[in-house]
Structure 1
Amino acid sequence: MRFLKFFLWSCLTIFCGLLLSLSGAYLYLSPNLPSVDSLRSIQLQIPLRIYSNDDKLIAEYGEMRRNPIAFTDIPEDFIAALLAAEDDNFANHYGVEVSSLMRAATQILKSGHIQTGGSTITMQVAKNYFLTSERSFSRKINEILLALQIERELSKDEILELYVNKIYLGNRAYGIEAAAHVYYGKSIRELNLAQMAMIAGLPKAPSAFNPLANPQRAKERRDWILGRMYRLGRIDEARYQQALAELVDASYHGSSPELDAPYIAEMARAELVGRFGSAAYTDGFRVRTTVTSDRQIAANEALALGLIEYDQRHGYRGPEGHMSTTDRAAWLKELGNYRGQGNLAPAVVSAVSNDAIKALLRDGSEHSVSWDSMKWARPHINTNSLGPQPKAPSDVVKPGDVIRVQAVGEEFRFAQVPQAQGALVSLDPHDGSIEALSGGFSFGQSNYNRAIQAKRQPGSSFKPFIYSAALDAGYTPATLVNDSPIVFIEQGQDRIWRPKNDNNTFLGPIRLREALYKSRNLVSIRLLQTLGIPHTLEYIKRFGFKSEDLPPNLSLALGTATLTPMEIATGWTAFANGGYKIEPYLIERIEDRDGKVIFTANPARVPERTAASAETPDEGEAAAVSYAQNDTALIDHSAPDAERRYAEQIIDERTAYIMTSMLQDVIKRGTGRKALSMGRGDLAGKTGTTNESKDSWFSGYNADMVTTVWAGFDQPQSLGRREYGGTVALPIWMKYMSAVLDGAPEHAPAEPEGILTLRIDPRTGRAAAPGTPDAYFEVFRSEDSPPSMDGEMTPGSVLPDSPLPESEAAPMDLF
């Protein structure tokens, strides 16, 4: 009896000691425990996702890849698999499983160190949301106390939802929905039983049981979970055997974009970070841009192909490297050091024959490259000189050379990465939405966005702004201006400027229309001199250009301003939309993590377009982002009473119409004649080439779209003696516009009121008398109609030599 009493008192003492210890620990730790209520409103990290206007994923930014899922959307099979793997008594315990804790304690006593934590799913929720991964007794006690609180305040369904959305499952995947997409490219709801069991096996050790890194061990874990499900009665034997027979079919499905638009993605990312800071990467914003996938694809292809064609005209610069070894494994390892550039893949020449070569790619595949695709590869000497024409593949490459190949359908062609760069910007002239944009040949080659960052001289593509100023000042397309030599002498200095036309010829008195489509430099200079530099600068700034980018001298007439392709395209929209100033924007809509639209666009629109549409902004329109003035701040127009904004009219709509008519002649008769092959009558545009052909431009439009293309070297140098806007930039513009306008009806700007059409004598620029040879019809503003041959003027008409704002040009002498 004495022994029994001693034993009972000892047990009671131990129990009371444990109770007192636990009570003391609770009293000591409980004041520092976080509130479980915060779990109801906790914000999981969700990456920033950027989409095209037609909902194609462009890019995803964020450290954690996560797609939260509601409990009601979790398949029952997955819940069964997860509980079988992690906590089969989850439905019955109150947050802590005593037997599991005792098992963990026994392991500590036997081994001397922690092996398993004995944690339930509720305890793991407590650790994942509130605690660190430190292995200590104080953290474990905190975990237990928090688990008990969580079970008191949350339902089992809520606990499971928190768990499956938080856990790390390898390969940057957080949560089961993200893991399903990473390993299988599907939603968790689309997986079969074996695949769900594979995902359920990952929480224990995401690296050890990863089906990509260790498929055999992952399969063993999967099969163990399936066996547990069968023994627990969650699945029948038929489903168990069927799932066991499934092969491990996991493969990496990264967040690869559906649309290749990295320059667009970077512009949008920068805007979101500027607005929301680092929260842009974690708060689950979903951004819809204005670009459409078909137009962006066309822009990418047109720019890349145009730069490759230019590059191949100037010869082959040799292999990017050479591998002296013949070991294919060494070749493949070395190829891993070469990055893909656009659609040009690195390859090693594995064999050379008389009519083809064999090229080994990084994926281990080997392809034949025909001799026909190599005939362009004359040795490059310099920009203007090439070596002899190769007669066989062996004249171009040898085995072991590192080259580039371009996949075109089933065929692989010989290529090289272009050194010249380019940019393409396409805008809707009625509201400024960016339809497509490419800032270079390859974002991987350079993330420098030339479309919005490269300030270059536009050359003759700037002349329309000078001509527009002249038309608004009373000139007409029929006005005669002297295309003759001119020299400017700087007073008190020995400096002399003798501007000339590109072909060093002079045509004498020439109509303004003809001077534009023939791009006569001296006519532009005389216009600017007569209009006056201060007056013209003020006029041109209406188009959105900054004073510091416009030289205050006569060289402005030759396009010596420094402007980006985006700024040029923005200025040109006024000719396409009837004289209104718009500002480009990219962000059309921003949604928060719950799908609520938090920003909507309210761009200034051309009135005709706005009047024809709904009176209130569409719910799906988004925050406007202006790049025309380098204003990258996101504009909040989410207020329900936000009013539609109208664009400012900056030039007479009749001037815009006449400019379009004159620019259409650039394509019909002038430097843009190649575009006639497109078979459209609604296109207008202008080439531009700077001194020594360092910059090549083409800007053009119809009533629906304005597109500007620039090509040149990042470090300015000549494109070549015979390279101009019409040979480099124009073909790129044509490829893009042909693709996006394919099947679309012709749509030229409508003729406004106040336009007069008269027959004109081309030799005098005056109204033609009956029977005048070569007379043609010309368009005028009604108040600017020309005098008749007898000198009688119609009301409001202006003579070609009418006085205009006084010039401040330097003295000049005529030859």
Structure 2
Amino acid sequence: MLMAKKIRKGVTFFLFIFLLLASIPIFFLRVPIENHKNSLIVLDRNGIELYEFLGRNSTRSQWLSFEEISPWLVKTTIFREDRYFYKHFGVNPLSLLRAGVTNLKNRKFMLGGSTITMQVAKMMEGRKGKNIWKKIKEILLAVKLEILWSKKDIISYYLNRVYYGNQLFGCESASQFYFGKSARELTLAQSAFLSVIPSSPSSLNPYKNLSKLEIKAKSLIKEMYLKGWIKREDYEIAMAEKIEIKKPFNPLLAPHFVFRILKEEEENLYNYSEIKTTIDYYLQREAQNILKIHLENLKEKGVGQGAIIVMENKTGEILVWVGSKDFWDEESSGQIDGCTIKRQPGSALKPFLYAVSFEKGFTPSTILPDIPTSFKEGNKLYVPRNYSNDFSGPVRLRVALASSLNVPAVHVLSKIGRPLFYRKLLSFGFESLERGDKFYGLGLALGSGEVTLLELVRAYSAFARKGILIREKKVLSYKRRDGSMELHREIKGRRIFDEKVCFLITSILSDNYSRGLGFRENSPLNFPYQVAVKTGTSEGFRDNFCIGYTRDWTVGVWVGNFEGESMKNVSGVTGAGPIFHSIMDLLQRREYGRIPYGEKIFEEIPKGIVKMEICPLSGMLPSLNCEGRISEYFIEGTEPKELCNWHRAEKIDLRNGLIAGEWTPKKFVKEKIFIFPPPLFTEWAMSKGVFPPKKISHLKEHDFKIVHPVDGSIFQTLPDLPKDYQSIRLELRTDITSKKVIWYVDDKILAISKFPFKERWQIERGAHEITAKLEDGKYEDRVRIYVQ
């Protein structure tokens, strides 16, 4: 016994001298610069994990500081791995000796005798395999680490890098994966559970050998209590605690958005351990459900897919990015991102066209032609038509935009110039329009070019910001590998429209009354609160959009099919419109707890905007002859100056509706308002019966007119019918009932009639003149007919 003690002391002394001599090269030994090799966690704005992007070695790892790690995990780990951690200088000579003896006895490397510091050195070196020279280097590096680092630094490094199985490196990833909680919150029982895994991660896999792992964890807790490392109370709580392990799951929430972020941050992915995005997952989830429900209702109409974007106007932050109804639905190509695919927007580009027209002097009351029109483009004629295949004649610009009429839009584009509008669209952020204005032609006014839902939402949000366009913001902050935080830089905007122009566009797009020519009164575009909204449907019903905004949010919805199949007469108001309406209501309820019925939620009228009454037909100042008046907004200086000259009063003869002559008795004369539009609309006015009659009435004081037969009539005799049965009636209209009327045929008296002055004449071939004459000769009328 005494001899054994002397041997141990001798060996200890020998090792001490050896290490003392070996310490000379320690100061020349470089401490490896460690790349933590963290995986990257993508979070929503509330801290919900959307996705974990594995590190270069396909492992999960998240870094915590010493203060962020549960003290229980620190204690259980030290007790399990290196009880003399706070007492040694990086190497425990007795542990090395014990390991050496064991290895010699078994003639193979079974125990390493490594302290926690030595294990950290091994992690830094990244060495694999076991031999004496690697062990010596590990020892030397451990000693140097003890000199350079504090014990807190060493244990925190170890806990952040140790392997816990299932591609989990570090306590934070392991805690989140196994328990669904941060390592900050680990209990004593959970800490003991994790602490025993690193000794044999494969055989102690919680998903394969849970009972074996629980036994070892309980044994560790009991031993800690017996050794006085924990109190009895803590021991009893830990032993009674039931460990619950989460099912293995690697979440992928808001997948289209997540992969968009990873693509945009591709060059910096390995510099960050965490990216906090702008997405609100709770809102995203509800929007996804709304899309699925509506698409199910549209399934029979050939609608298979949809996409939604919600942007916060003040910051430009993307709150919702739903790229398809189901990312995992391969049958309907669910992994295609509907937010970024290029599609024809239809009428959704019209607000930008009219905004440019306001800059060129057009006003909401400018009269535009909605009549059959052909426009020359090179050697071809472009003939636009409205969705309804009908025409409304002269329409105010407000009505043309609100009702989404096509012909007036093309007319405006032809006036302001296609090249100008195309350049403006590029400056508004429509980068997908790559082929030049000549390629798109005048159809650019109707959305002939392809754009993305994201580009539309971005551009529409500028109207809500009073003309300021900013790039969308998708990231709030980054967490670097060293734990430092980096806020996403603020995005500077640029002005693309004057505030007054934006006010006019917003006023029109939120005017449900002016949509009457294109939409029913209670369409999905009608809200009980103020929403500026526009739809768009591509040719052949392949795509439709609904884009709009309030003061707080801009929402964009697309529905269609990724393969480009046509839908069955599904327009923007029947396809994307109901989805848009549901999303807007959802946003109002989440933000304000209610639907703000009847509230004006846009800002007040800006300076430089004037409001005045106009004639609803001509858009001019109302005259006394105008049948109605409406209020309209104008940019100061563009308001109308002239009185309406379209409505004029004409005197008509009430008896026949013709223009009253100078001989027409006053009691039969009445003033009536007729429309005298510019020549462009004369045909329209005549077709609507609002143009004044061209003929003058020749009736005198009394009405006296042959109403049958009509002057110029042609009659046919029938050879098979007896002559006695071939006759026509003679009929007179007059207000003179007390006197007799003499009927003449070819100046020969046919009959003398009393009221109601009706007779019949047996027809004869040839030309004939029929005359009706009052018996006193004061009134007469005649017609000429021909009998074949």
Distance change >3 Å, CA 211–CA 432, structure 1 → 2: closer
> Which residue in 2 is equivalent to 1:558?
446
Q: Structure 1 counterpart of 2:310, which letter?
A: S
Q: Does 1:567 align with 2:450?
A: no
Instruction: Name 1:532's counterpart in structure 2.
Output: 417
Cα distance in 2 for partners of 1:34, 1:548 equals: 59
**1:731 partnered with 2:719:** no
Structure 1 window deviating more from structure 2 (590-599 vs 746-755): it is: 590-599
Match of 1:717 in 2: 565
Measured at CA, do residues 140 and 692 of structure 1 come closer, stay the same or move farther in structure 2, by a change above 3 Å? same
Quick one: distance in 2 between partners of 1:653 and 1:242? 66
- Correspondence for 1:456 among 335, 343, 350: 343
Q: What corresponds to 2:244 in structure 1?
A: 249
The equivalent of 1:691 in structure 2 is: 539
Answer whether contact 2:615 2:644 (CA < 8 A) is retained. Answer: no
Distance 1:436 1:541, change over 3 A: same
Shift of 1:443: 3.1
Work out which of the residue numbers 372, 383, 399 in structure 2 matches 1:498.
383
Amino acid in structure 1 at the alignment position of 2:290: A
Aligned ranges 1:20-59 → 2 under 5 Å:
30=25, 34-36=29-31, 42=34, 44-59=36-51
User: How do 1:385-400 and structure 2 match up within 5 A?
Assistant: none
Specify the code of the residue in structure 1 equivalent to 2:270: A
Matched position secondary structure for 1:785: coil
Equivalence map 1:381-460=2 (5 Å):
383=302, 420-445=304-329, 446-451=334-339, 453-460=340-347
Aligned equivalents of 1:674 and 1:752: distance in 2? Answer: 30
Partner residue in 2 for 1:783? 637
Q: Write the deviation string for residues 367-388 of structure 1: whole angstroms up to 9, x where unpaired.
A: xxxxxxxxxxxxxxxx4xxxxx
**1:580 shift after superposition:** 3.2
Residue 182 of structure 1 pairs with residue 177 of structure 2: yes
Tell me, in whole angstroms, the C-alpha distance in 1 between the residues paired with 2:313 and 2:66.
47
* Partner residue in 2 for 1:740: 587
Farther-moved stretch of structure 1 (729-738 vs 177-186): 177-186
Matching of residue 766 in structure 1 with residue 651 in structure 2: no
Larger Rg: 1 or 2? 2
In structure 2, stretches of 5+ residues that fail to align are 1-6, 647-676, 680-788
Pick 1 or 2: higher relative contact order, CA cutoff 8 A, min separation 6.
Answer: 1
Alignment of 1:251-266 (within 5 A): 251-252=246-247, 254=249, 256=251, 260-266=253-259
Q: Of 223, 244, 265, which aligns to 1:272?
A: 265
Letter in 2 for 1:755: I
Amino acid across the alignment from 1:727: T
Secondary structure at the residue paired with 2:308? Answer: strand
Number of the residue aligned with 1:322: none
Structure 1 residue 483, shift from structure 2 partner: 1.8
Report the residue type matching 2:171 in the other structure.
I
- Quote the residue 2:357 is aligned against: 470
Pick from 168, 172, 191: which aligns with 1:173? 168
Residues 168 and 121 (structure 1 numbering): CA distance in 2 closer, same or farther, change over 3 Å? same
| Distance apart, 1:24 and its partner CA | 14
Distance 1:771 1:526 in 2: 29
- Work out whether 1:665 is the aligned partner of 2:511: yes
2:473 & 2:183 partners in 1: Cα distance?
37
Identity %: 29
Number of aligned residue pairs? 623
- SS of 1:747's equivalent in the other structure is coil
What is the rounded CA distance, in whole Å, between the counterparts of 1:684 and 1:775 in structure 2?
A: 24
1:19–1:683: structure 2 CA closer, same or farther, 3 Å change rule?
Answer: closer
TM-score of the superposition, structure 1-length normalised?
A: 0.69
Alignment of 1:283-682 (within 5 A): 283-284=272-273, 286-311=274-299, 313-314=300-301, 383=302, 420-445=304-329, 446-451=334-339, 453-488=340-375, 497-546=382-431, 548=434, 551-552=437-438, 553-593=441-481, 596-605=484-493, 647-648=494-495, 650-665=496-511, 669=516, 670-671=518-519, 673-674=521-522, 679-682=527-530
Aligned partner of 1:163 in structure 2 is 158
1:703 and 2:551 aligned: yes
Residues 663, 527 of structure 1: alpha-carbon distance in 2 compared, 3 angstrom cutoff = same
Distance apart, 1:188 and its partner CA: 3.9
The Cα shift of 1:575 comes to 2.9
Q: Is the 8 A contact 1:171 1:182 kept in 2?
A: no
Q: What amino acid is the match of 1:279?
A: Y
For 1:48 and 1:181, locate their aligned partners in 2 and report how far apart those are by CA, in whole Å.
14
Q: Which residue of 2 aligns with 1:751?
A: 605
Spell out, residue by residue over 1:708-751, the C-alpha distance to the aligned partner (whole angstroms, 9 max, x if none): 2111111212011x211111111111111111123355412432
Indicate if the aligned counterparts of 1:551 and 1:561 stay in contact, CA closer than 8 A. no
Normalising by the residue count of structure 2, what TM-score does the alignment of the two structures yield? Answer: 0.71
SS in 2 for 1:583: coil
Please tell me the residue identity of whatever aligns with 1:725.
G
Looking at structure 2, the residues matched to 162 and 652 of structure 1 have their Cα atoms a distance apart, in angstroms, of: 56
Describe the superposition over 1:772-797 as per-residue Cα deviations: whole angstroms up to 9, x where unpaired. Answer: 323322222332223444659xxxxx
Structure 2 distance, partners of 1:76, 1:433, is 38
> C-alpha distance in 1, partners of 2:608/2:67?
66
Distance 1:223 1:581 in 2: 61
Secondary structure, counterpart of 1:688 in structure 2: strand
Amino acid at match of 2:478: I
Q: 1:20 to 1:246 in 2, by over 3 A?
A: closer
For residues 435 and 558 of structure 1, the distance between their equivalents in structure 2, rounded to whole angstroms, comes to: 29
Post-superposition CA distance 1:583-634 (Å, at most 9, x none) = 32223333435664434433235xxxxxxxxxxxxxxxxxxxxxxxxxxxxx
Question: Unpaired runs of 5+ in structure 1?
Answer: 1-10, 315-382, 384-418, 606-646, 793-799, 803-815
Q: State the shift of 1:308 in Å.
A: 2.6
What secondary structure, in the 3-state scheme, does the structure 1 residue paired with 2:320 have? strand
Matched, 1:105 2:93: no
CA distance in 1, matches of 2:529, 2:484: 44
Please give the root-mean-square deviation of Cα atoms over the aligned residues, in Å: 3.7
User: Could you say what secondary structure the match of 1:279 adopts?
Assistant: helix
- What is the identity, as a one-letter code, of the residue corresponding to 1:48? L
Shift of 1:496: 5.2
**Partner in structure 2 of residue 413 of structure 1:** none
Query: How many angstroms apart in 2 are the aligned matches of 1:527 and 1:585?
Result: 34
Query: CA 1:294/1:801 → structure 2, altered by over 3 Å: closer, same or farther?
Result: farther
Give the distance between the partners of 2:77 and 2:83, measured in 1 at CA. 8
Partner of 1:394: none
**Once the two structures are superposed, what CA deviation does each residue of 1:49-78 show, in whole Å capped at 9, x if it has no partner?**
333344444333233433434445555544
Q: Is the 8 A contact 1:34 1:130 kept in 2?
A: no
Q: Does 2:234 correspond to 1:232?
A: no
